[in-house]
A = this chain, B = another copy of it.
Protein backbone atom coordinates (compact mmCIF):
# COMPACT_ATOMS: atom_id res chain seq x y z
CA UNK A 1 0.00 0.00 0.00
CA UNK A 2 1.42 3.38 -1.05
CA UNK A 3 0.43 6.52 0.89
CA UNK A 4 -0.27 9.46 -1.40
CA UNK A 5 -0.76 13.21 -0.86
CA UNK A 6 -2.21 15.35 -3.63
CA UNK A 7 -1.17 19.01 -4.00
CA UNK A 8 -3.63 21.18 -5.91
CA UNK A 9 -6.40 18.84 -4.82
CA UNK A 10 -9.23 21.22 -5.64
CA UNK A 11 -8.13 21.91 -9.21
CA UNK A 12 -9.59 19.85 -12.06
CA UNK A 13 -6.65 17.50 -12.49
CA UNK A 14 -6.01 17.38 -8.73
CA UNK A 15 -9.60 16.47 -7.94
CA UNK A 16 -9.59 13.78 -10.60
CA UNK A 17 -6.38 12.40 -9.09
CA UNK A 18 -7.89 12.38 -5.57
CA UNK A 19 -10.77 10.33 -6.92
CA UNK A 20 -8.47 7.95 -8.82
CA UNK A 21 -6.19 7.36 -5.80
CA UNK A 22 -9.25 6.76 -3.63
CA UNK A 23 -10.51 4.15 -6.08
CA UNK A 24 -7.21 2.23 -6.36
CA UNK A 25 -6.87 -0.79 -4.06
CA UNK A 26 -3.12 -0.44 -3.62
CA UNK A 27 -3.05 3.31 -2.85
CA UNK A 28 -4.22 5.32 0.18
CA UNK A 29 -4.97 9.02 0.06
CA UNK A 30 -3.51 10.57 3.23
CA UNK A 31 -3.74 14.26 2.37
CA UNK A 32 -5.54 16.49 -0.15
CA UNK A 33 -3.77 19.86 0.01
CA UNK A 34 -4.27 23.22 -1.66
CA UNK A 35 -2.80 26.68 -1.98
CA UNK A 36 -1.78 27.84 1.51
CA UNK A 37 -1.13 24.32 2.77
CA UNK A 38 2.46 23.28 3.35
CA UNK A 39 4.10 20.25 1.75
CA UNK A 40 5.34 19.32 5.21
CA UNK A 41 1.72 18.47 6.04
CA UNK A 42 1.93 15.67 3.52
CA UNK A 43 4.91 14.22 5.37
CA UNK A 44 3.21 14.54 8.73
CA UNK A 45 0.17 12.74 7.27
CA UNK A 46 2.47 9.84 6.44
CA UNK A 47 2.66 10.29 2.65
CA UNK A 48 5.33 8.44 0.70
CA UNK A 49 4.53 10.08 -2.62
CA UNK A 50 3.24 13.58 -3.35
CA UNK A 51 1.43 14.33 -6.60
CA UNK A 52 1.66 17.94 -7.78
CA UNK A 53 -1.07 19.39 -10.03
CA UNK A 54 -0.71 22.99 -8.86
CA UNK A 55 0.42 26.03 -10.88
CA UNK A 56 3.70 26.91 -12.62
CA UNK A 57 4.56 29.50 -9.95
CA UNK A 58 4.29 26.98 -7.10
CA UNK A 59 5.43 23.65 -8.50
CA UNK A 60 9.20 24.08 -8.24
CA UNK A 61 9.06 25.08 -4.55
CA UNK A 62 6.73 22.16 -3.90
CA UNK A 63 9.18 19.67 -5.39
CA UNK A 64 12.09 21.01 -3.34
CA UNK A 65 9.94 20.89 -0.19
CA UNK A 66 9.04 17.28 -0.99
CA UNK A 67 12.71 16.37 -1.33
CA UNK A 68 13.46 18.11 1.98
CA UNK A 69 10.67 16.10 3.58
CA UNK A 70 11.96 12.82 2.12
CA UNK A 71 9.02 12.26 -0.24
CA UNK A 72 8.94 10.97 -3.81
CA UNK A 73 7.20 13.38 -6.20
CA UNK A 74 5.05 12.93 -9.32
CA UNK A 75 4.52 16.24 -11.11
CA UNK A 76 2.01 17.09 -13.85
CA UNK A 77 2.20 20.86 -13.56
CA UNK A 78 3.66 22.51 -16.67
CA UNK A 79 6.08 25.40 -17.01
CA UNK A 80 9.36 23.71 -16.07
CA UNK A 81 12.49 25.29 -17.57
CA UNK A 82 15.79 23.50 -18.12
CA UNK A 83 17.26 25.57 -15.29
CA UNK A 84 14.51 24.55 -12.89
CA UNK A 85 14.97 20.89 -13.85
CA UNK A 86 18.70 21.28 -13.21
CA UNK A 87 18.07 22.58 -9.70
CA UNK A 88 15.90 19.54 -8.89
CA UNK A 89 18.58 17.25 -10.26
CA UNK A 90 21.17 18.95 -8.06
CA UNK A 91 18.98 18.78 -4.94
CA UNK A 92 18.34 15.08 -5.47
CA UNK A 93 22.07 14.37 -5.11
CA UNK A 94 21.58 14.97 -1.40
CA UNK A 95 18.79 12.38 -1.31
CA UNK A 96 19.79 9.76 -3.89
CA UNK A 97 17.10 7.36 -2.71
CA UNK A 98 14.26 9.68 -3.78
CA UNK A 99 12.53 9.69 -7.16
CA UNK A 100 10.98 12.66 -8.95
CA UNK A 101 8.91 12.29 -12.12
CA UNK A 102 8.11 15.45 -14.08
CA UNK A 103 5.83 14.66 -17.01
CA UNK A 104 4.21 17.09 -19.43
CA UNK A 105 1.73 14.45 -20.60
CA UNK A 106 0.22 11.60 -18.58
CA UNK A 107 -1.97 10.25 -21.39
CA UNK A 108 -0.56 6.75 -21.90
CA UNK A 109 -1.99 6.62 -25.41
CA UNK A 110 -0.29 9.83 -26.52
CA UNK A 111 3.02 8.81 -24.92
CA UNK A 112 2.82 5.38 -26.52
CA UNK A 113 1.87 6.85 -29.91
CA UNK A 114 4.98 9.04 -29.87
CA UNK A 115 7.25 6.25 -28.71
CA UNK A 116 5.93 3.47 -30.96
CA UNK A 117 5.60 5.62 -34.09
CA UNK A 118 9.23 6.69 -33.70
CA UNK A 119 10.14 3.00 -33.40
CA UNK A 120 8.13 1.97 -36.45
CA UNK A 121 8.68 4.93 -38.80
CA UNK A 122 12.19 4.00 -39.98
CA UNK A 123 10.74 0.81 -41.50
CA UNK A 124 8.41 2.69 -43.87
CA UNK A 125 8.99 4.79 -46.96
CA UNK A 126 6.24 7.30 -46.09
CA UNK A 127 4.92 8.78 -42.86
CA UNK A 128 2.37 11.53 -42.21
CA UNK A 129 0.44 12.71 -39.15
CA UNK A 130 -3.22 13.67 -38.85
CA UNK A 131 -4.23 15.25 -35.53
CA UNK A 132 -7.89 15.90 -34.74
CA UNK A 133 -9.29 18.17 -32.01
CA UNK A 134 -12.41 20.08 -30.95
CA UNK A 135 -12.98 23.32 -32.89
CA UNK A 136 -12.34 25.62 -29.91
CA UNK A 137 -8.61 24.92 -30.02
CA UNK A 138 -6.73 28.05 -31.08
CA UNK A 139 -3.43 26.59 -32.28
CA UNK A 140 -2.65 24.16 -35.08
CA UNK A 141 -1.09 21.70 -35.12
CA UNK A 142 -1.18 20.41 -31.55
CA UNK A 143 1.94 20.29 -29.39
CA UNK A 144 1.62 16.51 -29.28
CA UNK A 145 1.70 16.36 -33.08
CA UNK A 146 4.79 18.61 -33.14
CA UNK A 147 6.56 16.33 -30.66
CA UNK A 148 5.49 13.25 -32.59
CA UNK A 149 6.85 14.68 -35.84
CA UNK A 150 10.13 15.61 -34.16
CA UNK A 151 10.52 12.12 -32.68
CA UNK A 152 9.75 10.45 -36.01
CA UNK A 153 12.14 12.71 -37.89
CA UNK A 154 14.95 12.03 -35.41
CA UNK A 155 14.40 8.27 -35.59
CA UNK A 156 14.39 8.27 -39.39
CA UNK A 157 17.50 10.45 -39.55
CA UNK A 158 19.30 8.13 -37.12
CA UNK A 159 18.37 5.16 -39.31
CA UNK A 160 19.44 6.93 -42.50
CA UNK A 161 15.95 6.84 -44.02
CA UNK A 162 15.18 9.30 -46.82
CA UNK A 163 12.28 11.75 -46.52
CA UNK A 164 8.82 10.60 -47.57
CA UNK A 165 8.27 10.72 -51.35
CA UNK A 166 5.95 13.44 -52.63
CA UNK A 167 5.40 14.37 -56.26
CA UNK A 168 2.95 17.17 -55.50
CA UNK A 169 3.61 20.09 -57.83
CA UNK A 170 0.17 21.73 -57.82
CA UNK A 171 -1.37 22.57 -54.47
CA UNK A 172 -2.83 26.05 -54.82
CA UNK A 173 -4.86 25.92 -51.60
CA UNK A 174 -2.40 24.29 -49.20
CA UNK A 175 -4.17 20.92 -48.94
CA UNK A 176 -0.87 19.18 -48.15
CA UNK A 177 -0.82 20.80 -44.71
CA UNK A 178 2.16 21.71 -42.55
CA UNK A 179 5.65 20.25 -42.91
CA UNK A 180 7.38 19.92 -39.53
CA UNK A 181 10.86 18.43 -39.44
CA UNK A 182 10.13 17.06 -42.90
CA UNK A 183 6.92 15.31 -41.82
CA UNK A 184 3.54 16.40 -43.21
CA UNK A 185 1.10 17.23 -40.40
CA UNK A 186 -2.64 17.82 -40.93
CA UNK A 187 -4.94 19.38 -38.31
CA UNK A 188 -8.67 18.55 -38.36
CA UNK A 189 -11.09 20.53 -36.14
CA UNK A 190 -14.49 18.93 -35.57
CA UNK A 191 -17.28 19.53 -33.06
CA UNK A 192 -17.57 16.53 -30.75
CA UNK A 193 -13.92 15.55 -30.85
CA UNK A 194 -11.56 16.00 -27.90
CA UNK A 195 -7.91 15.08 -28.65
CA UNK A 196 -6.87 12.49 -31.23
CA UNK A 197 -3.81 11.67 -33.30
CA UNK A 198 -3.20 9.27 -36.15
CA UNK A 199 0.23 8.40 -37.50
CA UNK A 200 0.08 6.86 -40.99
CA UNK A 201 3.01 4.93 -42.47
CA UNK A 202 3.28 3.25 -45.85
CA UNK A 203 5.39 0.95 -47.98
CA UNK A 204 4.52 -0.48 -51.38
CA UNK A 205 1.37 -2.57 -50.89
CA UNK A 206 1.28 -1.98 -47.15
CA UNK A 207 0.00 0.53 -44.58
CA UNK A 208 0.69 0.80 -40.86
CA UNK A 209 -1.31 3.07 -38.57
CA UNK A 210 -1.11 4.05 -34.92
CA UNK A 211 -4.02 6.03 -33.46
CA UNK A 212 -4.68 7.48 -30.05
CA UNK A 213 -8.00 8.96 -28.87
CA UNK A 214 -8.44 10.89 -25.66
CA UNK A 215 -12.04 11.70 -24.75
CA UNK A 216 -11.76 12.91 -21.20
CA UNK A 217 -9.34 14.10 -18.52
CA UNK A 218 -9.83 10.78 -16.74
CA UNK A 219 -7.67 9.39 -19.53
CA UNK A 220 -4.65 10.85 -17.74
CA UNK A 221 -5.28 8.81 -14.58
CA UNK A 222 -3.75 5.46 -15.62
CA UNK A 223 -0.57 7.40 -16.37
CA UNK A 224 -0.66 9.26 -13.04
CA UNK A 225 -1.21 6.00 -11.14
CA UNK A 226 1.62 4.38 -13.07
CA UNK A 227 3.86 7.26 -11.97
CA UNK A 228 2.82 6.92 -8.31
CA UNK A 229 3.42 3.17 -8.33
CA UNK A 230 6.82 3.33 -10.02
CA UNK A 231 8.43 6.52 -8.69
CA UNK A 232 10.07 4.83 -5.71
CA UNK A 233 11.75 2.33 -8.03
CA UNK A 234 13.24 5.12 -10.17
CA UNK A 235 15.51 7.21 -7.93
CA UNK A 236 16.70 10.52 -9.36
CA UNK A 237 14.94 12.87 -11.79
CA UNK A 238 12.97 11.42 -14.69
CA UNK A 239 11.44 13.73 -17.30
CA UNK A 240 8.59 12.18 -19.29
CA UNK A 241 6.37 9.24 -18.42
CA UNK A 242 7.98 7.10 -21.10
CA UNK A 243 11.01 6.79 -18.80
CA UNK A 244 8.89 4.48 -16.63
CA UNK A 245 7.49 2.44 -19.50
CA UNK A 246 9.22 -0.68 -20.77
CA UNK A 247 8.41 -1.11 -24.44
Contact = CB atoms under 8 A, between A and B. Distances in A.
Interface stretch (A32-40, A49-57, A199-207): A199-207
A135 B207 CA distance: 13
Nearest to A118: B247
A204 B192 contact: yes
Contact of A177 (B112, B175, B205, B210): B175
B187 A123 contact: no
Given A107-B206, A123-B108, A192-B202, A177 B186 contact: yes
A105 interface: no
A68 interface: no
B119 A247 contact: yes
A190 interface: yes
A137 interface: yes
A219 B247 contact: no
Looking at A125, A191, A202, the one whose CB has the most chain B CB atoms below 10 A away is A191
A203 to B, nearest CB: 5
Nearest to A123: B108
Q: Secondary structure of the A side of the interface?
A: mixed
Interface residues on A, range: 35 or more
B206 A123 contact: no
B212 A208 contact: yes
B208 A211 contact: yes
A212 B185 CA distance: 20
A190 to B, nearest CB: 4
Interface of A: 107-109, 112-113, 116, 119-120, 123-128, 130-132, 135-141, 145, 164-171, 173-180, 184-193, 200-219, 221-222, 226, 245-247
26 contacts: A108-B124, A109-B206, A123-B222, A128-B189, A130-B186, A136-B165, A138-B167, A139-B169, A140-B168, A140-B171, A145-B175, A173-B177, A173-B179, A173-B180, A175-B177, A175-B185, A184-B189, A191-B204, A192-B207, A192-B215, A204-B218, A204-B221, A206-B214, A207-B215, A209-B209, A247-B247
